Structure 1
Amino acid sequence: MKIGTLAGALASSVCIVAIATPAQAQERAFDIPAGSLRAALDAYNRQSGRPLIYRAEDVRGARSPGYRGTASPEAALDAVLTGTGFSARMDSSGAIAIVRAGDRSGTGPSEVRAEAPQVSDSTDIVVTGSRLRRMGNDSPSPVTTFDRAEIDRLGSATVSEVLRYLPQQPYARAETYSSTGAQFVELRGLGLDSTLVLLNGRRLVPSAADALFNAVDLNAIPLAAVERIEVLSDSASAVYGADAVGGVVNVILKKSIDRPSITLRYGGADGGANEYRVSGAAGIDTGTLRLSLVADYFRRDTLLGRSRSLFSDQDYRRFGSIDQRSTSANPGNVYSLSGGNLPGLTSSFAAVPASGSGGNLTPADFSATAGQLNLESTGVYESIIPASRRASIFAFGEIDISPIVTLFAEGLYGNRRTDSLYDPSSLFQETVPADNIYNPFGEDVLVDYLFAGVGPTDTINRSNMLRGVLGLRGRVSSWDWEVSGLRSHEDGYNVTTNSVDFAQADCLLTNPAARVGGACNGITGSLNVFQSGPGGEATLLASLVANPARVHYSSDGTQLLAFVRGSLFSLPGGAVEVVAGGEWRRESISNSRSLTIRPDREAIGLFSEAHVPLVGSGMNVPGIYELGLTGAIRYDHYTDFGDTLNPEVGVTWRPMPDLLFRGSYGTSFRTPSLFELYAPRTTFVTSVRDPRRNNQLTSGVTRFAGGNPDLDPVSGKSLTAGIVWTPRFVPRLRLSASYWSVEMKNRVGAFPVAVLLATEADYPDRVIRADPTPADIAAGLPGVIRSIDISRINYGSLKTRGLDLSFDYGVMSRLGDINLSLAATRVFAFDTITRPGVVDLERLGVASGQGTIAKWRATGGLQWSRGGISLGTTTRFVSAYDDVDPGLQARNGRIIPAQFYVDFQFSADLERIFTSQASGRSVQLTAGLVNLFNRLPSFSEVGFNVGHDFSQSDMRGRFGYISLSYQF
């Protein structure tokens, strides 16, 4: 797998195509189709491994004859440029500038450095982590990139699946974590709301259906339209504003499509989760007008719990744990109401006999099951992976309205449906009266019962999302500018069906003579919970189904962005680059369950960045080949909570051309979400144990919950320091290491009742007590609790630090191209505090329901290609960690073993293999296996009732896929 550090910010007028280091000058096979020069240069970059630098507007409209055959990289490039009016010029670093023939003043390597794997997709360069015109490998903060070729090699079907191969994301929650089937990203494990997600460099509004998490559902982004995914695993609030505490994920969609194409894909796992995808893309480039369109349809079938043993058999005693099967079973269980023996039996409880039929049972029929219980693995009904359908269309267009001004627009439409199944409704300790015609005991009894005859509860989530961008950009001398507006809207609903109306069930359990009119909503007869089976006729069961519970939701976002950037003046080390701009946005979220959370929120941001090259490569300073400083600062004002100012500083130092030291420090923030601030207050009566009254159980306590408009923003600070080595004597070798540290304060959370009562002295206004009675005073006790307030509050902090390591190496020879890579993250500490002065259970190397932080995560890859055929394997590794008892929140002595997942892929370009002429067409056949050795999760108690750690495991198991792509 090739995951490189992204080339950083550069002028929108400059297009960079690059790889890590120059390749050896031996001959190799090339297959570069005729067409636009820009597409030919992109293809040359991918096939040769040579860094190229050129101005996109210079090559616009130029056509290349292409090249197919075996030649040295130099000869192949000459053939590609034949008749185009352009030539190549190389400097000592190996970077190649594409300039007009005879031009000695074009963009050269002294202005930009090309080292990271990136293929630009338009003149509108979108680079994560900075708005400056600098290259990413010279940036103080590293950026990891999954380009399109890498995405295809991984065999992933969604953006979230791609990010599973990112070691900086310590865990990935299963789709069933959210009732909508949403998937999120959590860099460094800092929380769902601490990673900013961008689409083409502009922020996405958090998904309305998941307002509780204040996070973007990655499933809203069609992977078929993605050109690359850039990940900055460092705070970036000084550049992008709120929510970038843990880092930034920037998804870049395809904007330049030289030839139309269509792709078909099918995949499946044992027992379900079959996938079907059809996608197509087309584009137009007339020189002044550029249009592209990508359409994608994706369907995934469900994977039911009955297909995996940890769900189908929840008796975990076989792993040395406990039996977690439910007593709400079918057939069910009967209990004495008084606690004494059931009539005619020697026990207070008994299992309903499996052979029970109708109303003919007597107490004697229970003699064999007295003292026994029926137990049910309800996981068999649940969807491990929910069924889903997604249809998306992405369109991009731009037109040059003058030699220096371009009008651009983009639009994304998505329609999604997710269908999640849960276990059927059930009765637990429900009273069945003596006069129920099926009650064989002649007295009131208690019953546990599963409505298996009604079937699983079904939650359907549907949404439509529309997002559009319109803007202008241009260039004046050495300065460029951009003004753009964005509008997004999401509308949908969540509906729960096939759940039981318990009022109807209660009516059907009572004496028919006591019913109004002798019927329950027109249904006569009684519900039979003393048999193995559905419990009644079809009409009776149909009457039990409650009306669908529907929740509507919507979100709106409007953004305006303007900036200008360029060279302020020149120093001996180079030009001082600056950018300055402003941003305005308005967001709103509504939910019919909690009414409108707030009509809207507005924010205004002002930002500026600068890069100062203190020492340049031409200054001949001993020990300093290059030295640069960067700085960024951003001011944000929010209408609902105030102001915040966040700076960031960085340094880059090259003692020699192939060795880079870098570091950065910055502050960041996250605004409280609209849900956290304005979720309506709710109240209900409960019982609590009072630690100040000797753990007395106090009933009738009013509990308040909801938002808190007085919340402060979450603040953070981050530090990174690293080294990158690209030795010139070993072409295509790149080694890097980065130390990182992140600290967050004022984290927002709902107060657990036990934590609140244990720290009552710190929050006296949240626990209201009655005046102590004379007896209380005599005993030294406070008054009884009348109410508690567990609404959200700033009270938590988190500190984590670690080391990122990466290795990339490539060899090109007549036997083929070989690429070897390894990326790993070692976490040294992960400390959280959720109440003053008290440290939580250690999170590092310990299973956690909040998401397990393993000490090591790594991804390695090995790829070989030659003559249109490629083979590749990718390995994911998670180090062993301790399991915990979720109830006691303590280690239980069990070790979750290290996890290795191996993927394999084969790909063949059939057109290249069987056709000798360079037609420009491509027929790509790809087949692969994810989790080749069918590694299923080890048992873990942290996943109560599911038997595994869902933050680290993939219950899908081995997954095979095949795709066919045709480029016309």
Structure 2
Amino acid sequence: MKMRSLAATLATGVCVVAMATPAQAQTRAYNIAAGSLKSALDAYGRQSGRQIIYKADDIRGARSAGVRGSLSAEAALAALLRGTGFSYRIDTSGAIAIVAGESEAGSAAADSEDAEIIVTGSRIRGNSVASPVVVRTAEDMRNAGQASVADVIRTIPQNFGGGSNAGVGYGVPESRGTGFGGAATINLRGLGSDATLTLLNGHRVAYGGAQQGIDVSAIPFLALDRIEVVPDGSSALYGSDAVAGVANILLKKRFDGLEASARWGASTDGGNEQQQYGLIGGTSWDSGGVWLAYEFGRTTAIKASQRDLGTGPADELMYQPNQKWHAVAFGAEQQIVPDLSIRLDALYNRRSSNRIIPIVPTMPYNLDERYEIEGLSLASSLDWKVSPGWAVSLSGTYSMNSSDYRSVQTISGVTSVAGSGCYCNEGMSAELAADGPLFTLPSGDIRVAVGGGYRANYWHDQRTIPAASARDIRLTRDTVYAFGEINVPIASPAQDIAGLHSLNLAAALRYEDYTGEYRVTTPKFGLIYAPSADFELKATWGKSFRAPTFYEQLSGNSTILYQASRLGGSAYPADATVLFLAGGNLSLKPERATSWSASFVAHPVALAGARLEVTYYEVDYRDRVVVPILYSSTSLSNPIYGEQVTLSPNAAKLAAALAAGTYTNATTVPYDPAKVVAIIDNRRVNASTQSIRGVDIDARYGFDVGGARKIDLSLYGSYIHSKQVLSALQPEQPLAGYLFNPPHFRVRGGAAYSDRGFTLSSFVNYTGGVSDARTATSLAIDGMTTVDLIARYRFEEGASLLRGLDLSLSLENMFNTKPSAIATTIVYQPPYDSTNYSPVGRFVSFSISKRW
């Protein structure tokens, strides 16, 4: 079935500059200098302690006369906006949206803008979210010296570097990570890239490769507006995969003008030479707009010979691959008639990469793993404002990802193709959704969102070389779903209730029917209680799930004949054999999780610009899909694997085992059913349970130091403790704090000084140590601390030749800290934990962009 339906984005590009409390009638002293409107709004956000939402592209070039004196928040903002051509609108969450137009016209425009403000973590426009939300705007990224989504996610403490990511090397268990194709995926809490739902403009895109992660590495940087991450179970809102949370990558909604950018960088120890060039152009009019962005990039490999990281690896080994990519993004919107508009978004990317794996360097025998990845995402929506407060959206999406791989081997100078194939994914959806107020309480509107839709995913696993293991597997999964969400304001600041500044309750429910397979219903509840304007308490509870991946269900199925002695069968005759089953399992059912969180949020009125959020979370994850036998060499000798062993199998069981997958004889004698003493079933099963708990911290403080000068401080951190049980007979195993798993602690602290167009930022990044328990004596692997320094200057005024010029110099890991060494047993395994620590070393880059 081939559909080319399109889908839409409900989220507009915004910039959040401060989080605080709803409006207060009290006055305070304001001292905001004249200058750019952006700088004035930033200062207002810090001094008032209110949340300001604006689109940086819209206000670019606008100037404010500033404001000084003791004023109410409303009066100060009105003074800032006077004569700028902009006004403001307060939405239902208390946030302030800056919109085009003066006074009454501005209010009308605000109604239009407010109808499109969607925060990740809710399907209700303008809704408050009880879950913690991590936001990184395009401006944040530039000030941090970042140039891609991959750069950003590496600095979010809740994200784990395992899963499907370019730097993951050989020797890492498949369940913890893979470097397939040079992709970059988001892996919250270390639960797997397939347990974090990644959205583009609020919509699903096709899975990448075999592991069902979403590759975010090839999105034009100039097209980015912001990234929002909700590290909390969210299947009640978004469906499957949102067990650890959801990440939403939001592109620009509108862009006026033309901007070109270039970036060059390299590691001072050698390798990792980066080039990146971008261009975006667009225009807008009263009823719509259109923009187009393009990016080309290239990165060279990091080789073992360029790093002194420990003994063992061959010089030819690539720690990170060569990569080259092209990416194009497009956005358009148009009002058809009043209250009815259409929107289209598109993203296309093509990336090639390769990595050299020296198998036997002395021969030499090398593998060159080559990948060609192509992706396309289309989304369109028809949005109708039915009545004041109510909106209906009909949307559709189509996306595809083709991951072609080719392994070229060179043995003693002779080159041949050792393997070739493709993991090809397609996805499409159609959805009808509506949200608006049901009725009004003294505390505000009770608002709801309802909707339903259809989603289809297609998977093609094709392997053509070698012929002995060729396969052509096609699977389809159809899903229909319905959802509902309600937000009830019990108390609001306007009621002036002592000890009850505000109280909001929220609930969501989603039903999904995987036709012919299973049905899943997931609820979620949220609470936000603010005793005063200075702080609030938030809590969530909900259930989430992850449907088994196509790869887990039916890929690589094999039946291998081994000597019993190779699998721990020392008590059997020398000629005894065993049938060993490995691969997928069509009987797998969804993984399920129950999660809850509790947050304390402080934003004291007396300390404008300060915000602290501390969150405790727990996840009870069960029915996890695992390969049950960790060490196949002890399958027959270790009693904990007894559930997977069938002794003295009869003829029917032997026949079923031989039919379960591609047969391979790994012995030196022909198959003899009379000598098969056991069947060992190591195919994937729903057996594991995991327990995850921890604490996140998000602290920010911004303040003025005179004139246009300001200082912004930030501290983001995460602590995690996790453990798992693979099956009923196996003991509990710790995860967090151990090799190839998330460390217990990750922290990122920063300080930024800015004065008009100049910004100087520094960040300290700490990744905790882990224990290496691969041997009888556990070894401590030290953590890694790096320091970054970024200087940026923007020419906002002056001669037209320089106006719009943006220069940035970045020094990452300025002290050239290196990862601690670990023991290796093969020459193509990196001598460090490649899921947690980076071999990049000191990295210097220079960026330049110009806007017209």
TM-score (norm 2): 0.84
Structure 1 residue 12 displacement after superposition: 7.0
1:600–1:759: structure 2 CA closer, same or farther, 3 Å change rule? farther
1:941 aligns with 2:823: yes
Q: Could you give the per-residue CA deviations for residues 188-220 of structure 1, whole angstroms, max 9, x where no partner exists?
A: 11123211111111112211xx21x22122224
Q: Could you give the per-residue CA deviations for residues 594-631 of structure 1, whole angstroms, max 9, x where no partner exists?
A: 64433411011100000011122233333211111100
CA contact (8 A) 1:45 1:52 kept: no
Q: Which amino acid aligns with 2:288?
A: L
Query: Which of 768, 782, 785 is the aligned partner of 1:900?
Result: 785
Larger Rg: 1
Structure 1 residue 948 displacement after superposition: 1.1
Query: Which of 371, 383, 387 is the aligned partner of 2:322?
Result: 387
Give the secondary structure class of the aligned counterpart of 2:552: helix
1:498–1:608: structure 2 CA closer, same or farther, 3 Å change rule? same
1:304–1:742: structure 2 CA closer, same or farther, 3 Å change rule? same
Please name the residue that 1:357 is paired with: none
1:812 aligns with 2:704: yes
1:390-429 mapped onto 2 (5 Å cutoff): 390-423=325-358, 425-426=359-360
CA contact (8 A) 1:14 1:123 kept: no
Please name the residue that 2:836 is paired with: 952
Please name the residue that 1:579 is paired with: 449
How many Å separate the matches in 1 of 2:644 and 2:838?
44
Give the secondary structure class of the aligned counterpart of 1:863: strand
How many Å separate the matches in 1 of 2:444 and 2:168?
50
Please name the residue that 1:592 is paired with: 462
How many Å separate the matches in 2 of 1:277 and 1:856?
32
CA contact (8 A) 1:179 1:420 kept: no
Q: Which amino acid aligns with 2:145?
A: G
Give the secondary structure class of the aligned counterpart of 1:49: helix
Give the secondary structure class of the aligned counterpart of 1:218: coil
Q: Which amino acid aligns with 1:674?
A: F
1:2-151 mapped onto 2 (5 Å cutoff): 18-21=17-20, 25-28=30-33, 30-32=35-37, 45-46=41-42, 48-49=44-45, 66-67=62-63, 72=68, 78=79, 81-82=82-83, 84=85, 86=87, 103=104, 106=107, 124-135=116-127, 138-151=128-141
Q: Which amino acid aligns with 2:250?
A: I
Structure 1 residue 665 displacement after superposition: 0.3
Structure 1 stretch displaced more, 171-180 or 945-954: 171-180
Please name the residue that 1:266 is paired with: 264
CA contact (8 A) 2:722 2:734 kept: yes
How many Å separate the matches in 2 of 1:224 and 1:55?
18
Q: Which amino acid aligns with 1:391?
A: H
1:639–1:64: structure 2 CA closer, same or farther, 3 Å change rule? closer
1:493–1:881: structure 2 CA closer, same or farther, 3 Å change rule? closer
CA contact (8 A) 1:90 1:97 kept: no
Q: Which amino acid aligns with 1:216?
A: I
1:495-894 mapped onto 2 (5 Å cutoff): 495-500=406-411, 541=413, 544-547=414-417, 549-593=419-463, 595-679=471-555, 681-689=557-565, 694=571, 700-752=577-629, 753=632, 757=636, 758=638, 763=643, 769=649, 785-814=677-706, 816-827=709-720, 829-845=721-737, 847-848=738-739, 851-884=740-773, 886=774, 888=775, 890-892=776-778, 894=779
1:230–1:814: structure 2 CA closer, same or farther, 3 Å change rule? same
Please name the residue that 1:115 is paired with: none
Please name the residue that 1:471 is paired with: 381
Give the secondary structure class of the aligned counterpart of 1:575: strand
Structure 1 residue 107 displacement after superposition: 8.8
How many Å separate the matches in 1 of 2:232 and 2:614?
14
Q: Which amino acid aligns with 1:702?
A: L
Structure 1 residue 492 displacement after superposition: 4.2
CA contact (8 A) 1:760 1:767 kept: no
Structure with the largest fraction of strand: 2
Please name the residue that 1:38 is paired with: none
Please name the residue that 1:368 is paired with: none
Q: Which amino acid aligns with 1:740?
A: Y
Corresponding pairs, count: 782
Structure 1 residue 830 displacement after superposition: 0.8
CA contact (8 A) 1:53 1:107 kept: no
Structure 1 residue 491 displacement after superposition: 2.6
Segments of structure 1 that go 5 or more residues without pairing to the other structure are 1-9, 33-41, 112-119, 315-376, 427-448, 501-533, 535-540, 772-781
1:185 aligns with 2:186: yes
Structure 1 residue 583 displacement after superposition: 2.0
Give the secondary structure class of the aligned counterpart of 1:190: coil
Structure 1 residue 30 displacement after superposition: 2.1
1:760–1:264: structure 2 CA closer, same or farther, 3 Å change rule? closer
1:15–1:908: structure 2 CA closer, same or farther, 3 Å change rule? closer
Structure 1 residue 925 displacement after superposition: 0.6
Please name the residue that 1:962 is paired with: 846
Q: Which amino acid aligns with 2:528?
A: T
Structure 1 residue 494 displacement after superposition: 1.0
Give the secondary structure class of the aligned counterpart of 2:183: coil
Please name the residue that 2:5 is paired with: none
CA contact (8 A) 1:768 1:788 kept: no
Structure 1 stretch displaced more, 702-711 or 608-617: 702-711
Give the secondary structure class of the aligned counterpart of 1:180: helix
How many Å separate the matches in 2 of 1:580 and 1:132?
9
Please name the residue that 1:446 is paired with: none
CA contact (8 A) 1:89 1:99 kept: no
How many Å separate the matches in 1 of 2:703 and 2:838?
34
CA contact (8 A) 1:54 1:99 kept: no
Give the secondary structure class of the aligned counterpart of 2:726: strand
Structure 1 residue 408 displacement after superposition: 0.8
CA contact (8 A) 1:15 1:123 kept: no
Q: Could you give the per-residue CA deviations for residues 874-922 of structure 1, whole angstroms, max 9, x where no partner exists?
A: 11112333333x2x3x443x3323321110000112453xx178x9941
How many Å separate the matches in 1 of 2:754 and 2:641?
67
Give the secondary structure class of the aligned counterpart of 2:194: coil
1:29–1:928: structure 2 CA closer, same or farther, 3 Å change rule? farther
Q: Which amino acid aligns with 1:835?
A: S
Q: Which amino acid aligns with 1:644?
A: V
1:859–1:695: structure 2 CA closer, same or farther, 3 Å change rule? farther
Give the secondary structure class of the aligned counterpart of 2:139: helix
